[in-house]
Structure 1
């Protein structure tokens, strides 16, 4: 029995120590019973320094009144997503979002569990994101729209509409799958218009929790929440310029409502303030899912959609404009020739056809990664050939993506690919597509694929996906 108990404790400890969130468990007096490794990293204390001690005994200048743990122990009520800013062991300010829940024995509160997410980097983001994109962007007299590549009819129409939009101050809504180039369209619209000398500030709505996004957009007054300082929001920072709201569909509905009011009234009110600040900001918003689906599911307010979609630009996915693949490959080869000091002249025709057969779930971004890999694997000159590319791209290619499963199976067998290898490549493609669709949000991807977090993280390591914007 003792052995089983020890095993269960070790399993629980191992599980909690490998969470990305900090976990802090206290008894009914507030003394620490458990403190996982993530909390050690967040606050800078080792476990042995805090076990058996109260927060106020090891955190300087931190009172019981400020502690969410002590509040929950006092009233027995759960606290969700509260922002706290305080100094860690090294007197460096950290920002956490805490959810604190009471542990009860009947009606008696016998302890509390606090789960903390470290968002200290968002303070830097709030300070540096307002650093304006250089006003020298394409100031050499050339056409900023030359940065939008593509000769297909879909891209030509989208580019023409973007040119017209650049000559107006009206809001723009851009829809396109992940990796299609929504940000380059946004930049071109801004720098091709009469606001080109003013700020262009992008913000990825999916990368920041709603609890912080509101303050980042509209600003904060000192004391509006624990540790809050008076800070200018992005609307003020982008005054007379353009604010790009990337992945708007990730914004909570209540924030969408506030955003609509700001757009219509032309005023912002910082958190904790009753003062209205007049702003003149052009909005460009992007969606990575179809607006009609988002509206029907309640994830996009219909009134906000109509207010933003004065100009609506749809960027077609790469699979629907295969003629653009050659254009992009040429551009990427030229770019990586300079970066890598090579003189690759192009790609052989057989390999080019194979790339055109592929469905490109990651769109242009995926194509760029594929070409970059091939360029690194190539000699200094000559053509890119099959041997330079990841073999997976060949397995995933199909001459007729829309043909029946039976025909596709016959084609696979005729090419001599093993069933095990083919199924693995299909699985790899599905995981990659789901990750890209959900902007590498692990929780959302698990839900879509119907698998556990542990299994998904195993597959990420197995298939060597190393996204820059990996998020829990």
Structure 2
């Protein structure tokens, strides 16, 4: 049977497209040069790592585009010129805009009938890791928040402050639960500064900000020889020895690293990447999570055993919509902050403008309120009082003045009752709280019987009881 040339050509074309698609989907940088040192393949990941576009690099000589330190040669060029293969070599160089890049590379020559016809480099980016290590060293000396700086007179926030103060007496793990922008790190720093660890390091790391491939090295450190160019470098646990390590958004951490973290917490030892020996560490762990931890466990974003280990002390930071009584105090504090920064002399927010702020549900919580005040003060000139017309346009368009909403104290009644502005989430939570309380009363507060009737675990019921203050 004769083959169909057209079909073969189409198949070859389809295969080329498939190879190109695969190269752009892999999570490592791939850079290929020909025998003249010109780039012929440069995938999307490599563009991201080096902050370059394909047109900046393709069909150009590698050494015309990138600059290397005097004492360091390109491992890709070495593979082409010397036929030298290298594995796990750390390399720092600069792109055509002068930006410093640090990668760990595998480089090897392309051989055709024994002749070198090009070279390939496979790169993993650790630029971010290098910068984060430097930032963490600086942040160790910048732990400034204490309980005195937590603003709020509402019962819900005062209750959390009191619980947090009690947590300063021990070194038990703490899990802080709260929506984004509620001030979880402020509470974490306050606990550290109020404890007997206050003289040691406080290190904070957002688990969602670092690729999984780098997180292990960042947490546990590296041993010289783990890869070529690797140095003995302490991880965050060793840097926080004797102090506190805050792991923000713990539910973003890869499950395999969650298992290693659990072992570290239980055994109080760490092992650097590439090392064979364990090292004792004395670190208090404070973790934060921006969702219901029971949901995170159910959806496999948080290991159940790690959750139980971290939640020895659990703090629930209320969203701003549940503590609107604190809006005036918080707003005034932010006015004072930006008065100092902007050399302004704003005295307060008018009653009418505050009424509009009280109508808002603040999905971004305290952080959103701060940004709103900052934005408003950027737009006014010599005014002493922030009025309705000074507020961002979105507030003025969305909310209208209604004198009937004012209570006898001059504050919007919506701030006290919540009115009809409560979200579905709030109403569902209220119904859940009411039903749990009812079943508890029917079972004489027997937790095991109540959990069985509700169809949830004893631990889940205890979590909800604490969450709802039952």
TM-score interval for Structure 1 and Structure 2 normalised by the shorter chain: 0.5 to 0.7
Mapped pair 1:51 → 2:59? yes
Cα shift at 1:220: 0.3
Kindly report which structure 2 residues correspond to 1:268-279, keeping only aligned pairs within 5 A, or say none: 268-279=270-281
Query: Kindly tell me: are residues 119 and 180 of structure 1, through their superposed partners in 2, closer, same or farther at Cα, counting changes over 3 Å?
Result: same
- Name which one, 1 or 2, has greater alpha-carbon Rg: 2
Query: Kindly tell me: are residues 393 and 272 of structure 1, through their superposed partners in 2, closer, same or farther at Cα, counting changes over 3 Å?
Result: same
Kindly report which structure 2 residues correspond to 1:80-119, keeping only aligned pairs within 5 A, or say none: 85-88=90-93, 94-96=101-103, 118-119=125-126
Greater CA deviation, 26-35 or 243-252?
26-35
Partner of residue 195, structure 1:
197
**Structure-2 separation of matches of 1:39 and 1:62:** 17
Aligned residue for 1:338, secondary structure, equals helix
Kindly report which structure 2 residues correspond to 1:453-468, keeping only aligned pairs within 5 A, or say none: none
Match of 2:255 among 253, 256, 262: 253
Cα shift at 1:374: 1.2
Match of 2:421 among 389, 395, 401: 401
Contact 1:43 1:89 in 2 (8 A): no
Cα shift at 1:48: 7.2
Contact 2:222 2:272 in 1 (8 A): yes
Aligned residue for 2:288, secondary structure, equals strand
Partner of residue 42, structure 1:
50
Partner of residue 134, structure 1:
141
Mapped pair 1:242 → 2:247? no
Contact 2:88 2:106 in 1 (8 A): no
Cα shift at 1:87: 3.2
Query: Kindly tell me: are residues 267 and 22 of structure 1, through their superposed partners in 2, closer, same or farther at Cα, counting changes over 3 Å?
Result: closer
Partner of residue 164, structure 1:
166
Aligned residue for 1:88, secondary structure, equals strand
Aligned residue for 1:379, secondary structure, equals coil
Cα shift at 1:94: 2.8
Aligned residue for 2:384, secondary structure, equals strand
Aligned residue for 2:314, secondary structure, equals strand
**Structure-1 separation of matches of 2:271 and 2:214:** 15
Aligned residue for 1:225, secondary structure, equals coil
Aligned-CA RMSD value: 4.1
1:328-373 CA-to-partner distances (Å, cap 9, x unmatched) read 0011111111222222111111111111111111111111010011
Aligned residue for 1:284, secondary structure, equals strand
Query: Kindly tell me: are residues 117 and 370 of structure 1, through their superposed partners in 2, closer, same or farther at Cα, counting changes over 3 Å?
Result: farther
Aligned residue for 1:343, secondary structure, equals coil
Query: Kindly tell me: are residues 84 and 43 of structure 1, through their superposed partners in 2, closer, same or farther at Cα, counting changes over 3 Å?
Result: farther
Cα shift at 1:39: 3.7
Partner of residue 32, structure 1:
39
Partner of residue 314, structure 2:
312
Query: Kindly tell me: are residues 184 and 88 of structure 1, through their superposed partners in 2, closer, same or farther at Cα, counting changes over 3 Å?
Result: same
Query: Kindly tell me: are residues 233 and 365 of structure 1, through their superposed partners in 2, closer, same or farther at Cα, counting changes over 3 Å?
Result: same
Contact 1:174 1:286 in 2 (8 A): yes
TM-score (norm 1): 0.66
Partner of residue 104, structure 1:
none
**Structure-1 separation of matches of 2:323 and 2:213:** 39
Query: Kindly tell me: are residues 32 and 253 of structure 1, through their superposed partners in 2, closer, same or farther at Cα, counting changes over 3 Å?
Result: same
Query: Kindly tell me: are residues 166 and 48 of structure 1, through their superposed partners in 2, closer, same or farther at Cα, counting changes over 3 Å?
Result: closer
TM-score (norm 2): 0.67
Q: Provide structure 1 residue ranges, at least 5 long, that are not aligned to the other structure.
A: 1-14, 68-73, 75-81, 101-110, 139-143, 405-472
Greater CA deviation, 355-364 or 57-66?
57-66
**Structure-1 separation of matches of 2:339 and 2:28:** 45
Cα shift at 1:128: 3.6
Aligned residues: 360
